[in-house]
Amino acid sequence: MRVKVAGSILPSTHSCAVFHLGSAAAKALRPFAVHDRSRSLLEKLAIVRESVAPGSFDCGTQFATIAGGNPALQPEKSEQATFGMVFEPVNAFSVSADYFKIRLNNGIATGIPIATILGDLATYGSLVVRGAPDPSFPNLPGRITGIAQTYINLGATHIEGVDVEAHYKFAPTSYGRLRFDLSGTYYSRYDFQNLDKTYTGFVSSAAGSPVVGVIPRWKHYASVSLDRGPWSFTVANNYQSSYTDWQTDLDGNERTASSMSLWDLQAQYTGFKHFTVTAGVKNVLDTNPPATNQQNTFQLGYDPSYYDARARFVYGSIRYAF
């Protein structure tokens, strides 16, 4: 069971509930949760329960979502510009950079992340459906019965960045020939339009993002391969930079989700006519994902939008070409 307090999911053995942001519960809890670190979480919750009627809680941490079409939906429109350069002084070496600039209007999304909605009810409260107030507590809002996740237009999105590639083939040796390859993306801008027509940037920051997913400042896939006759061996690295987490910590400070670096191994054999045999290991060091407090998926503690929950695993394939 988890208790959601002011937009944060906290572990708890208590049986209830989600506090309304700005409610008497949140006000009662704030002095203890932020300033009194000597009290346990259970003591803080007990204080709140003594201060606030149980009718102010929404029991459970999962809410029904309302999906479907939207008759007011408008088509997406975009303007794009790209400019690229390739530098290849010799056949064995090349490096390229492609600048991209995208202006997307009326971007379509399947609803705003629930964590963002619950974290800013003043802005997104119209997307929360509530039942009738409890007659015993007529001044408190009714319990949440659903949260709208229908298709919506998010306004404009401004995206800018650079795609980078680099390739180098070392001179052949008696052991084979080494190759280095890198493909990466650097985001300089990823801004979403606010309701007041201003823009907020979300490069390296997921806090308050209107969409699910993370936009790291830099991410790349780099590999070193050894080609020897019909054999090819590869060591590869997947990397993405750190970012500001979805929610603050219990002291109200911004929290950073750390960078991620995963290593892979692969071997390939093409010595059989028409056949390619491949075997490898993904995440060979069994690296754990960066810890995050995102609440947009059923997987808590990490973000499945960029981490494979299988962690380290072995794979193989046989391909026949004719």
Three-state SS at 57: strand
Of 77-91, 204-218, 225-239, minimum mean pLDDT range: 204-218
Structure tokens, 90? 């010799």
Per-residue HEC secondary structure of 219-283 comes to: EEEEEEEEEECCEEEEEEEEEECCEECCCCCCCCCCCEECCEEEEEEEEEECCCCCEEEEEEEEC
Terminal alpha carbon distance of the chain? 56
Return the higher-pLDDT residue of 2 and 118: 118
Judged against a pLDDT cut of 50, whether residue 17 lies above it is answered with no
Nearest-angstrom CA–CA distance, 172 and 179: 10
Reported as a pLDDT band with limits 50, 70 and 90, residue 58 is low
Q: Retrieve residue 217's tokens.
A: 């400042």
**73-85 b/e (C-beta count within 10 Å ≥ 16 → b):** eeeeeeeeeeeee
Amino acid at 177: R
Cα 304 to Cα 246: distance, rounded to the nearest angstrom: 14
Confidence of residue 72 (pLDDT cuts 50, 70, 90): confident
What's the mean pLDDT in 77-105?
96
What domains sit in the chain, N to C, each tagged with a CATH number?
78-108+154-322 (2.40.170.20)
Binned at pLDDT 50, 70 and 90, residue 35 comes out as: very low
